[in-house]
Amino acid sequence: MQKEVINILRTSAPLAGSSASVGASALKDILRQRVVQYYQALDKDIDLSDGPLEDLQLETATEALCVIERLQAILLASNSPEFASIPAKSGSKPSEGTLHEGVAIGTRDLAQIRTLISIIFKWALEPLLGRVIAATPTKPSPKHHGGAQIIDLTDVPADYETLSSAVTRLMHLLLPGGLQGPLAETIISLTLLNRHLTDILTPCIVLGWMPKRQATDSVRPVDDLRPLVMHLLSILPASQTIAALGGILSHPPSALSYVRKSCGFLLSRQLLRPEGVPGLLAVVFGEEDVSGDDASLEKLEHVGRLLCTVPTGTKPNEYYENVITRLITVLSTNPETIPPAHRRAAAFSLSRMLLSGDRPTPGVASDILLTKLHLPFLVPSPRIPAQGEDEAPTATLKQRDLSPSIVLSILQTLLTNADPSPTFISSLLTPIIPTLYAILFRLDQTKTSDPATKDSLKSLLMTWGRVVCASEGLHTLWSIINGEGGEWQVDMTGTLTRVEELTRAPSLYLFTPESLRQAEDSGEFSVDSNPLDLRPDPAHFVKFLNSLDRSEISSELFMRMLEAYREVKSEADADPLRTLMYLQLILQMQSQLTADGTSSNILKKPAYILSFIKHALESANKLTISSGKRSKPSSAGLRMEDLRIVEEEDEELEDEDSDDEAQRRSGDQEMLVTAVDLLLSVLEANPDLSARTAPILNDIFSLLEPLSKDSSETLRPLVQEARMVMTARLASTSASFPEMKTSATHEDSPQQIYQKALKLLQDPLLPVRAHGLLLLRQLVSTRRTKSGLEEPSIDRALVPAILSIFLQSIQDDDSYMYLNAVQGLAAMVDGFGKEVLKGLVDIYSQGLDGLGGSGMTQQDVDARTRVGEALGQVIRRCGDVLPAYGDLLVPPLCAVMSASHFPTTMRTSALSLLAQCAKTDSLVLLPYSADLSAAIIDLLQLESVRAPPRKDPASTDGALAEDKETCALGTMDSQPTSTNSKFPPLRRAALHFLLLLVQACTMRLYDSPGTEHVGFPASLMRRGKSTLGYIAATDEDGVVRVMARETLEGLEQLEGAMVGL
């Protein structure tokens, strides 16, 4: 065989001889000589007529094809695999030849073979194909119906036959066994495939896929080529066939449109092969793989368009299922084995498929892709059957192909390499965000979890949080709160597994000293701990929410949380753990999302929060009004219902438990505390927020007024503080002052002090607020100058606002705030006189007309007694000028003292204030002395309580104990709102005031002997002495009896002064 090969190569050497670049005529002579030499070597005589150069070239190529066929036959007969010229070691020279068994082909021989093959394509196939394409009609030929036929007298039939024969012979060189045989493994086959595959496939497609409608008598389709080409493409590597077909598509025959379509069809078939997609990537990005450069956008878009186009005749579902699977495989492979350009192209193509809404089959690709990526997160992981157990169904086992850990890596790669499109990111991640958060929580709870996995997961969540729209983000986060996402486990190897239900250790157990110390060290007792295993964990979820840095979503979610909490609190059968979870989330959001340094501060957009606060306060006020309807007296007079002796039972309340009612009231109270606390936080976070910028604050301020007198020790101080801050804020924004120039002593002007005080009053710290009251008190105090006392320098227009602040502060439970407010009111009376005093007296005595005073609560009584304390301070500070205010003070105080529908505590307070007037300057009472004396004696006559008869000392101790308990429960201090006028403090206060009044009249007679009338006529004197004598002898209260005797002595002294003794 070696001799035959050598003989063939020596004989064909003239055909492959080299020649310099000469003109056409010289080349023609050279080719003629070569062909003659070749035939002489074969011992053949041939007469080469003087034909054109093209004929000589075709003759040379034809003979070259014959030579290649004879060599191929010998190589195939050797039945031995060939060995290519591969270097033995890196950097060494290749071997001198390529060996077969018994056949050696040297490097020079190999070059001759390649030259002969190049001659075949250059001088035969290319010119013949060009002339055949030019003769092929571009449109379907009309059918002939009988008659004369047109005979083609050109060279086209001969060219077509020669081309068909040459292409068929070349295909047989590659596939000597036909459709059932393998690919020939010879140096000739390798040369044809590696160097001329595109040149072979181009005429094969032109001839084999020619439509019959475009065929003519001279040019007809060669049907035998199609199966050979399909068989060849199925044998060759996908990357090689894709490169060849891509070369045809880049330079298709411009006149024949079917060539491009057929080539596209064949290329799509190659993509569906298992190695089709990787082959395409290897072909397109071959240069980038070698150089390491980034893939250009043009190439990425070309690959994306190619992969997103469904071939004609292929079902979209099957096509996308195949292609998407291959692309996902590229992304899930170890990055060290896949070039970066391939991963970038795969991610880019998947993103285009996900966003392919404008294609003929919208949604098919995205559904397939999302199903593959989301399914591992949405269904429980399959349990691997133990030894001896039956296998699970095939549909379930297929889920193992993509584990959650692998999909996490794929998602990260997709987001890293795809276009940064918000729509793409949202479509890809939104359906599985609850699951991703559940996995993140489990990884954070597992100390041995992989930090890289956690960082990757956080990156996915952060990316989604920053691009998702507000409504979609709110809906997704709320689904996390509703418990979506499932339960996950992480083993020691980091494998993520979704389970139906996570086995948890019991949360309630007895602590041993050792376990207690371990629990403290692990943080189980911290404020952010979750001992009840709430899902989601409040502290962890709010921390995640804060990391998203989306204040609008956080604010909306906070509002929705508050509404949900209010709804579950109003439900009788609500899940207590659910209620607790809402409350914990609200508290955590207030703790973590209200700091000034956080960009996701939920208080920076107060509109929605103020609406919730108003709604919560309105609901609370409606409940208060509805619950008070039963006890509210009717203004329509006496009704039939009022004549009932036994109260009618409410059928609706028969089945209700008092504990349930108390629980509902407690829930409403918690909601109110939350709303008011939230209001204070909003005001603190927004210094410019006031009723001027947010009119809704006016409604909230009005709704807070009834709550400022609530009995709750928790709610009332918060409401009072909120009203104080709102009042100060409104006063601060309402007052507009011209810019004041500072003096040489750098003292602040009154306006600056006023603004500073209002700012301090809005501070959450109580000592700071108290200092603000002190500054206001200094502003309204009179000034001492060389000429005497002058009015305060503060503008009178600010007096109502300051008075309102002091009146609200007087209700504060803190003694320092209360005393500063009392002293401030007293200072305002000194500085601004009757206007402020009249306002205080009106507040103290309001409700005298009608039944307004009979419905006072304990807080109302407490507020008025505090105003009375301020009036006492005012009366003491007035001194000698008190008679000037007599008309403002004495009549209202007398009216309160005489109002039987007022609580006894208020009547006692009024008597104390009248006694203070008598102590300060008795002249203020002398015009009213007769009426006051008569009223006090009448009160003592009516309200005196006779002592019971004395019991035997030997009576039972049980009876004494019962009497003591009854006496203790019936005191005025324990019943401050009671109108029982039999309480001893009322009589004591009356006797004290009467004694002071009598002493004042006595002193008046001694100081002014000529005074004829002191307010005690003889009849009143006699009645007074008899009344006091009776009380001193019979009243049950020992203090009253003593005070009655003292007052009786005073009357006797007054009587002596009247007669001149």
Q: Among 233, 159, 154, which residue's Cα sits nearest to residue 198?
A: 233
The two three-digit tokens of residue 710, written as one number: 């609530």
pLDDT at 809: 82
Q: Tell me how far CA of residue 765 lies from CA of 626, 716, 724, 761, 805, in angstroms.
A: 36, 17, 13, 9, 17
Helix axes 551-570, 658-685, angle to 10 degrees: 160
Query: What is the model's pLDDT at position 227?
Result: 92
Buried b (16+ CB within 10 A) or exposed e, 17-31: eeeeeeeeeebbeeb
CB atoms within 10 A of CB 780: 26
Provide the Cα torsion 978, 982, 988, 989; round to 10°. Answer: 40
Q: Which residues pair with 105 in a beta bridge?
A: 98
Two structure tokens written together for 893: 């105080």
**DSSP calls for 696-738:** HHHHHHHHHHHHTT-S-TTHHHHHHHHHHHHHHHHHHHH---P
10-residue mean pLDDT profile of the chain (1061 residues): values are 83 73 62 84 75 85 92 80 36 40 77 92 91 81 49 72 93 89 89 92 91 84 92 91 88 78 87 88 85 84 86 85 90 84 90 72 83 87 51 40 85 85 90 92 86 90 91 93 87 82 54 63 63 86 90 88 85 85 87 72 78 82 56 44 46 47 59 84 82 85 81 79 82 57 54 82 81 84 59 74 82 81 82 79 77 69 86 85 87 89 89 91 85 89 82 52 48 79 90 90 77 69 89 90 91 82 55
Name the DSSP class of 644.
Answer: -
pLDDT of 437 reads 92
Closest CA to 495 of 458, 448, 433, 445: 448
pLDDT for 429: 92
Domains of the chain by residue range: 1-87+94-137+155-197, 884-1061
Confidence at residue 67, expressed as pLDDT on a 0 to 100 scale: 92
Taking CA atoms, 802 is separated from 140, 238, 368, 688, 719, in Å, by: 100, 89, 71, 20, 19
Q: What is the pLDDT of residue 645?
A: 44
Contacts 24+ apart (CB under 8 A), 632-638: 632/855, 633/851, 633/854, 633/855
User: Which residues are CB-contacts of 348 (< 8 A; sequence separation ≥ 6)?
Assistant: 300, 303, 304, 417, 418, 419
Token representation of residue 344: 């970038």
> In 380-530, which ranges are E strands?
487-490, 496-499
Strand partners, 99: 104
pLDDT at 640: 46
**At residue 692, what is the residue type?**
R
- How far apart CA 67 and CA 117 sit, in angstroms, is 10
